[in-house]
Structure 1
Amino acid sequence: MPNISYESFAWWSNYHMTVTRPDVADIGATDFANGDLPPGIVELARIHLADIDGLGPLERLGHIAPVLQGYLAHIAERIANPVFVPGVPHQPGVPFAAGMVGTAWSFAPLIGAPMSQLMCGGLSFVGLLPTSHRNSASPYPADRLVIAGGGTRGRELVDWAEPKGLSLPTSGSFLGPTVAGAAATATHGSRLGFGGTQDMIVGIHLVAGPDKHWWIERDGAPVLSDAGIAALADGGTPPEVRRDTALFEAALVHLGAMGIVAGVAIELAQLARYQRFRIDQPLKEDVLDTIARGDFEALARDLGRTERPVFYELTIDPHAPYGPHALHTLYLEPTPAHQAEQGSAERAPIAGEAVVKMASSLFAHGPSEAASQIAAQDAVAASDPVEDLIRALLDNHPSAFDFYRDTGSFGAAGKIWPPQSWGQLHDSDALTGGVPGSLYNASFAIDRSQLRTAIEAICAAVAPLPGTFVFTVRFVSHASGTLAFTRFPETAVIEIDGLSPFICNKAAAHPDASGHPLPPPAVAGLRQLATVLPAGARAVRAALDGASVAFSMHWGKLGDLDSAKVHADYGPVSDPASPLMRWRKARETLLDDFGRSIFWNPAVKQYGVVE
């Protein structure tokens, strides 16, 4: 039988160190010298499944459901009979939040509930749905239909699937997030003609209360047979089954506020291998217009390739979008003629790794030592002292874009890689390279047809800022999910990646690697760099508004998303047919009063998604 272990008052941080428990302000105000110690999360729970390894995937979920229901009953008991501890917010009358965490990838406080937090990494398994458990009317091929635990990471999925001739249809840049967590915010990649990670999910097993769990799938697209539904009751608790498309679409992008996603049904793709192609070629207005039309085969021809692209990513210099350099990454369907090309065996870094390089340099030798090294190399003096600091952190490159361009992955003639699987093309599970908290990211989804207007507006807006960031554009089509932020039929997502305020301020507050205090100019430069990315995100948002480009913001990232913006994009709340109100109606269906009282997080309150 699965079981849950508990930790009390555990200190916790998300992956990007933008959400902490205790809150940073509470830590700063603590009198440690006199024995005070701020509590973290009141109760942190971990689920363990080792003793059900021999069961089929639906039987596993059947045994998991009553354990998670017991966890929720435990929470109900804690609320009904609170134990007062000084300084702990778990007191009568104080709202109680029960959060779920996969790999804690979200930048936003969709995770980090201060009361009770369920660590869902233990909900990790994958199995092919048995034929007897598959509905005979299912439109999903039997050999590609799998059941995965909600805590299963993308890496585990590809490692299980690819030896069996299967793979993922899409993913984000990294395979570290869990399937439930990635779907929760409509995490996307840039698979052409496809939606986000939530689009591969075709059924959801949701635990919603001490006495309720659901199986949800689309009307007209059944997944489970009667025998499959019976397997979900293997632990003794029958599920409630709903074949309701509106309910399913709402639950896909659940924002951590619709219960515990114990497991999902996924339609995998047939294993295929693609050739990565990269080239440094200027971005001209007519090329941007080709991209905005979605003519990616014409784009590939413009870049010197005749194969069909299945993936495209554009990285531009924010300070010179129509300058001499723009960086293009495509995955191409190999043909016999092109497979004969000599492919590169080198690893292909991604844009965010330029940011990680800066962060690593902050602590590898300290900015003062790095600056001395640059000066010793007779570097060209920069007119801006912040540029001197950037050069020190990026091996004498003036910007993150120039550093990324000079990694060797790009060139005017282009570079091709041998055919690789999706898991091989996405060879990283994490980004920060041993320097957690180094990255700031905000993402803006627009109608692809407005890409040229948007790029020109946002680049003009960020022109005064130092070059510690890059703009990357990726593409999503017809994304599923009532509250998918990629809400346009054809969406372009513009991402701003750069150094986080946390990592800049941390470097400014500490001696360098040799133990010497940083000189005042270095401290001032770091403090200034700490303001760049938040200012850049604000500038992007204002520029899009000023250019009348409709946009939505990624739920799980930064950029000061607020209730006014959410209600403007998904409301109004006065219209029952609006996406926001349809999502709320689904939540009311799935959760009773107790469920609605505990399944929330600071973000959904702050964004006005729930009242």
Structure 2
Amino acid sequence: MPLVQLGDEGRWTNYHGTGTCEAATRFALRSGDAPRGRDEIAIAAKAVQDWLAAAALANRRVRPLGAGWSPSNVNIASQCWLLHTRRFNRCFRINAADVRAGVDANGLMLVEAGALVDEVSDKLEAQGRSLWTSGAGNGQTFAGAAATGTHGSMIASGGIQDHIRAVQIVTPAGVHWIEPAAGLMSDSFIAATGSTPLRDDDVIAAAQLPVGALGVVTALVVGSVPKFLVRPIQNLRKVDRAALGWLAAGDFRRFSAAYALDQDPDFVQMIVNPYKPFKRPAMLRFLYREPWRDDYPRATPGQLGAGYDALSLLGRLLDDYPWARGALLQFAMKQGYASGPDVDAPPVYGSWGEGLDTHRPLADLFNASVTIDRADLAHAFELICEVYARHGGSTVVTVRFMARAEGLLAPARFPANAVIDFDGPRSRRTADAYARVVERLDAEGIAFTRHWAKSCQLEAGRVAADYGEDYRRWRSARDRLIPDPAHRALFASDVLDGLGLTC
């Protein structure tokens, strides 16, 4: 049996300890041993459809869960049935006979919905392929990371959901194989998965980032690029105010030449103490992409990883001693982030997958972000620092850059994006500081969106305003995929209803 119940009704808490489902009945979807991926997911999809029918008869809502990673409550629902997909995690090669004429099968892989980002990356790298972007962590399931719009940070790339080329989604009314109107997989392959093809550009754009509201994702077709190397440079440097203008204008080469290497970077990250940001050193991180070779001097995981866990060690201090925020923040940055290598160190390299971090749980850490048009960066940054100087707050401010992402509800929706993260101790003081930032950006007329999986303080009216026509298209695609309101309600929760996604 690919789908089994895990004990009696009880309490479930997410990975980071930030949300709890009460009176939840847990089930697990598990991989089998079918030699072909299409046969495996056909069996699983039928089991999921039967499970949905049983949930409806029991008058229980459902919530699919991957790694339970989201720090927000977007994956939380009580008095419901939870479906854990983590052990449904096989990956399969795709052959030329499986795709439509003109499609290159070499860059594609069939992925079961519970496969972690790390597992997908490892499988691709074993085939000489690579993801081209991802978030900082590798502990999410690939489907879960895409479902909430986990942003990458490669300057010329969008989010992790951009890799998705096709999706198998199970609803009470059927098993759907969703892909672009131009088509991807052969009709015979789709039939073997037990699915009905739905080739529609809007529906695939909705399914790339479904926020858990479009049914149960059981499989994905993931795209890739040839494997490549990245060289990391990391240092603590005081950043000149004028340099923000260079970043806002997209002059990353000039910024890199001033603070790292005189060449075009592929990744730029700036972690700033918002108290006296131009007088205290910022933590700067650059990645430079190079062609693959086997004989490279290998970087350590600490040199390649993003190092976002440092503040979780000092978070409580930052909240308990607000008078020392500036100094303690700087100490945290120096202790946690300044591991190099800098420009004078011997060059070291790693694959993209080698740079993915596994985080410890973030129960004591507050996570929030805004994504803005990169052109607004200098003005927005000044406003954010003014809020902290006037009202307090115990978070660092992290700035990264990316292109417009795919998916109708992708937060990175501007032509060029600056993603600004706020990480610090989980407390009322920290949450209030973020709320004041949001209020100030609104008051100044700076457009922004928020990360679905972080503390986002969103409601349906604001979602509709932020996403406009794309929100209307997403809801229209949802209604085509799940036309029966009773079936849509099966995937509802207080959180998703509040966002206007399931009502």
TM (norm. structure 1) is 0.77
Contact 1:48 1:123 in 2 (8 A): yes
Max Rg structure: 1
Structure 1 distance, partners of 2:30, 2:447, is 45
**Structure 2 residue 429 is the aligned partner of structure 1 residue 429:** no
Q: Which structure 2 residues correspond to residues 149-164 of structure 1 after superposition, within 5 A?
A: 149-164=112-127
Residue 35 of structure 1 corresponds to which residue in structure 2?
none
Structure 1 distance, partners of 2:424, 2:344, is 26
Change (3 A) 1:195 1:398: same
Residue 106 of structure 1 corresponds to which residue in structure 2?
70
Q: Secondary structure at the match of 2:217?
A: strand
Contact 1:485 1:554 in 2 (8 A): yes
**Structure 2 residue 77 is the aligned partner of structure 1 residue 186:** no
The CA deviation string for residues 399-429 of structure 1, in whole angstroms up to 9 with x for no partner, is 2343222444259866565110112112x22
* Alpha-carbon distance, 1:445 to partner: 0.7
Amino acid across the alignment from 1:605: D
Q: Secondary structure at the match of 1:45?
A: strand
Structure 2 distance, partners of 1:413, 1:589, is 53
Change (3 A) 1:266 1:320: same
Aligned length: 497
Amino acid across the alignment from 1:555: W
Q: Which of 8, 21, 27 lines up with 1:45 in the alignment?
A: 27
* Alpha-carbon distance, 1:146 to partner: 0.4
Contact 2:229 2:349 in 1 (8 A): yes
Change (3 A) 1:306 1:262: same
Structure 2 distance, partners of 1:257, 1:72, is 14
- More strand per residue: 1 or 2? 2
**Structure 2 residue 215 is the aligned partner of structure 1 residue 215:** no
Identity of aligned residues (%): 27
Residue 419 of structure 2 corresponds to which residue in structure 1?
493
Structure 2 distance, partners of 1:591, 1:329, is 44
- Name stretches of at least 5 consecutive residues in structure 1 with no aligned partner: 23-39, 80-95, 234-238, 368-381, 391-396, 501-529, 572-577
Amino acid across the alignment from 1:481: G
Residue 567 of structure 1 corresponds to which residue in structure 2?
464
Change (3 A) 1:459 1:556: same
Residue 347 of structure 1 corresponds to which residue in structure 2?
302
Change (3 A) 1:610 1:154: same
Residue 482 of structure 2 corresponds to which residue in structure 1?
591
Structure 2 distance, partners of 1:417, 1:59, is 46
The CA deviation string for residues 181-219 of structure 1, in whole angstroms up to 9 with x for no partner, is 11111111211111101000010111111x501011112
Residue 191 of structure 2 corresponds to which residue in structure 1?
230
TM (norm. structure 2) is 0.92
Structure 2 distance, partners of 1:353, 1:415, is 24
Please identify, of 280-289 and 311-320, the stretch whose mean Cα deviation from structure 2 is larger: 280-289
Q: Which of 244, 259, 264 lines up with 1:308 in the alignment?
A: 264
Please identify, of 276-285 and 199-208, the stretch whose mean Cα deviation from structure 2 is larger: 276-285
Q: Which of 57, 80, 84 lines up with 1:77 in the alignment?
A: 57
Q: Secondary structure at the match of 2:327?
A: coil
Contact 1:278 1:415 in 2 (8 A): no
Change (3 A) 1:328 1:137: same
Contact 2:100 2:185 in 1 (8 A): yes
Structure 1 distance, partners of 2:392, 2:343, is 29
* Alpha-carbon distance, 1:532 to partner: 2.2
What's the Cα RMSD here? 2.5
Structure 2 distance, partners of 1:154, 1:412, is 28
Contact 1:277 1:416 in 2 (8 A): no
Please identify, of 168-177 and 291-300, the stretch whose mean Cα deviation from structure 2 is larger: 291-300
Residue 527 of structure 1 corresponds to which residue in structure 2?
none
Change (3 A) 1:59 1:411: closer
Residue 57 of structure 1 corresponds to which residue in structure 2?
37
* Alpha-carbon distance, 1:335 to partner: 8.4
Structure 2 distance, partners of 1:411, 1:466, is 33
Structure 1 distance, partners of 2:380, 2:493, is 32
Contact 2:234 2:342 in 1 (8 A): no
Change (3 A) 1:599 1:130: same
Q: Secondary structure at the match of 1:65?
A: helix
Q: Secondary structure at the match of 1:108?
A: coil
* Alpha-carbon distance, 1:453 to partner: 0.5
Change (3 A) 1:270 1:149: same
Q: Secondary structure at the match of 1:482?
A: coil
Amino acid across the alignment from 1:422: W
Change (3 A) 1:416 1:592: farther
* Alpha-carbon distance, 1:345 to partner: 4.5
- Name stretches of at least 5 consecutive residues in structure 2 with no aligned partner: none
Contact 2:152 2:159 in 1 (8 A): yes
* Alpha-carbon distance, 1:387 to partner: 4.9
Q: Secondary structure at the match of 1:456?
A: helix
Change (3 A) 1:131 1:188: same
Structure 1 distance, partners of 2:392, 2:111, is 44
The CA deviation string for residues 491-521 of structure 1, in whole angstroms up to 9 with x for no partner, is 1110000111xxxxxxxxxxxxxxxxxxxxx
**Structure 2 residue 242 is the aligned partner of structure 1 residue 286:** yes
Structure 2 distance, partners of 1:279, 1:181, is 32
Residue 507 of structure 1 corresponds to which residue in structure 2?
none
Residue 549 of structure 1 corresponds to which residue in structure 2?
446
